[in-house]
Amino acid sequence: MSATDAATSPSADTTEAPDCLVEQDGHKLIVTMNRPHRRNALSSEMLRIMESAWDRVNSDPEIRVCILTGAGGYFCAGMDLKTADAKPPSESFESGEYDPTVIKGLLKGFRLTKPLIAAVEGPAIAGGTEILQGTDIRVAGESAKFGVAEARWSLYPMGGSAVRLPRQIPYTVAAELLLTGRTLLAPEAKELGLIGHVVPDGEALAKAHDIADKIAANGPLAVQAILQTMRDSEGKHEDECWADDARVGAAVFSSEDAKEGPRAFLEKRAPQFQGR
Ligand SMILES: C[C@H](/C=C/C(=O)SCCNC(=O)CCNC(=O)[C@H](O)C(C)(C)COP(=O)(O)OP(=O)(O)OC[C@H]1O[C@@H](n2cnc3c(N)ncnc32)[C@H](O)[C@@H]1OP(=O)(O)O)[C@H]1CC[C@H]2[C@@H]3CCC4=CC(=O)CC[C@]4(C)[C@H]3CC[C@]12C
C-alpha cells in the first residue's frame, strides 16, 4: 500500500509505524513526519520523536547535517485539529505541564548546532510553516502550499511565527499572512525568500540531499561555527559582533581540519575532515 493509499485507509490510525521516522545516511540524519492520512498533522508522539532527533543531531559528532521532510507527498498540516478538540493545549498551559516559551519539537526556543534543510511537498500549513522557520535551507516542490492559518481557528501561532515570520520575510507580507491566514504557493514563497528553491513536484527530497551532501563534505567545525555566528549576530549591530566572530573563527583556524583543507587543495585530492 502506498502512503497515499494509507491516507484513505480506514485502519490508517492503527498502523504500527511511528509518527516520525529517523534514519541516518552517512553524515546525514533524515527526519520524516509520518502521519500521511492526516497530512502529517503533529501528534504528541511525533513531537517527542522530533525532540529526541534534535538532541541526537546536536550530540552526535558523526551527524553533520539534517533533513526534515514529510511522508506521502505532504509536509505538515500543523496541529492535529481532531485531537486538539479532545484535549485543548490550553489545559496543559494552565496546569503548568507544558512551558509554551520552549516548544523544542518545533524548534521554538531551541536551535540545532548543525544545518537543517527542509524538503517540502504538498501542504506546510500553520505548524508546518512554523517549524519551517526554524530550518536553515528550504526546498519545495512547485505545488507546495504555505501559510500560518492559526487565526482562522482563533488560535495563536504558538510555534513562534508572530516573532519569526516578520524577521524572515517583508513585514507587510508577514502581517498579511499571519492576520488573514491566506496560503501561498511555492513560487510566491520563493519570491518572498521564505524558501530558497522550487523544484518539480516530487523532487524536493532529492534536491535537499544534494545540498546536504555538499554541506557534509565541508569541514564540520567550519560549518557549525558559521551557523553559530549567523544566529548569534542576528539583530545585533555589526560592531557588537566582531569579537565573537573573531573568537569563533580563530577556533576553526586552529583545528586540524583547517590544515587538512589547504593540504588537500595542494595535493589535488578531496579533503578528509575529522571534526577536530
Ligand atoms: C499553535 C501550533 C499550531 C497550530 C496549528 O497548526 S492550527 C492547525 C491549522 N491547520 C490547518 O489549518 C490545516 C487544516 N487542513 C487543511 O487545510 C487541509 O486539510 C490541507 C490543506 C492540509 C490538505 O488538504 P487536502 O484537500 O489535501 O486534504 P483533506 O481532505 O483536507 O485532508 C485529508 C485528511 O487529513 C486530515 N487533516 C488535514 N489536516 C489536519 C489537521 N491539521 N489535523 C487533523 N487532521 C487533518 C483531514 O481531516 C482529512 O481526514 P479525513 O479523515 O479523510 O477527513 C501548535 C502546533 C503544535 C502545538 C503544541 C504541541 C505540543 C503541545 C502539547 C501540549 O499539551 C500543550 C500545547 C503544545 C505546546 C502545543 C501548543 C500549540 C502548538 C504549538
> Can you give the CATH number for the domain in which 41 is found?
3.90.226.10
Same domain, 235 and 115: no
Ligand 1 contacts CB of residue 137 (under 6 A): no
The answer to whether residue 94 is catalytic is no
What is the three-class DSSP state of 181? coil
Strand pairing report for 123-125 and 137-141: unpaired
For residue 6, report the distance from its CA to the centre of ligand 1, in Å. 17
Q: Which atom of ligand 1 is nearest to the CA of 156?
A: 1
Cα distances (Å, whole numbers) of residue 85 to 71, 88, 98, 226, 250: 24, 6, 17, 43, 52
Ligand 1 contacts CB of residue 127 (under 6 A): yes
The answer to whether the beta carbons of residues 103 and 109 sit under 8 Å apart is yes
Same domain, 262 and 148: no
Active-site pick, 45, 150, 191, 260: 150
Q: For residue 276, tell me if it sits in a domain.
A: no
Q: What is the pTM of this model?
A: 0.93
Strand pairing report for 137-141 and 116-120: parallel
Active-site pick, 130, 191, 238, 260: 130
Ligand 1 contacts CB of residue 107 (under 6 A): no
The answer to whether residue 234 is catalytic is no
Q: For residue 112, tell me if it sits in a domain.
A: yes
Same domain, 225 and 209: no
Q: For residue 271, tell me if it sits in a domain.
A: no
For residue 30, report the distance from its CA to the centre of ligand 1, in Å. 22
- C-alpha cell belonging to residue 230: 549567523
Same domain, 29 and 81: yes
Q: Which atom of ligand 1 is nearest to the CA of 157?
A: 1
Q: What is the DSSP letter of 9?
A: -
Per the structure, how many domains does the chain have?
A: 2
Owning domain of residue 157 = 3-216
Q: For residue 50, tell me if it sits in a domain.
A: yes
Cα distances (Å, whole numbers) of residue 176 to 162, 172, 184: 11, 6, 11
Count of residues in the chain? 276
- How many Cα neighbours within 13 Å face the side chain of 92? 12
Q: For residue 274, tell me if it sits in a domain.
A: no
- 233 phi and psi angles, rounded to 5 deg: -90, -5
Q: What is the pLDDT of residue 244?
A: 97
Q: What is the pLDDT of residue 12?
A: 46
Task: Output the tens digit of pLDDT for each of the chain's 276 residues.
Answer: 333 333 333 334 555 799 999 999 999 999 999 999 999 999 999 999 999 999 999 999 999 999 999 999 999 999 999 988 777 777 887 888 888 899 999 999 999 999 999 999 999 999 999 999 999 999 999 999 999 999 999 999 999 999 999 999 999 999 999 999 999 999 999 999 999 999 999 999 999 999 999 999 999 999 999 999 999 999 999 999 999 999 999 999 999 999 999 999 999 999 999 999
ipTM of the complex in this document: 0.97
262-266-272-276 Cα dihedral, nearest 10 degrees: -30
Ligand 1 contacts CB of residue 42 (under 6 A): yes
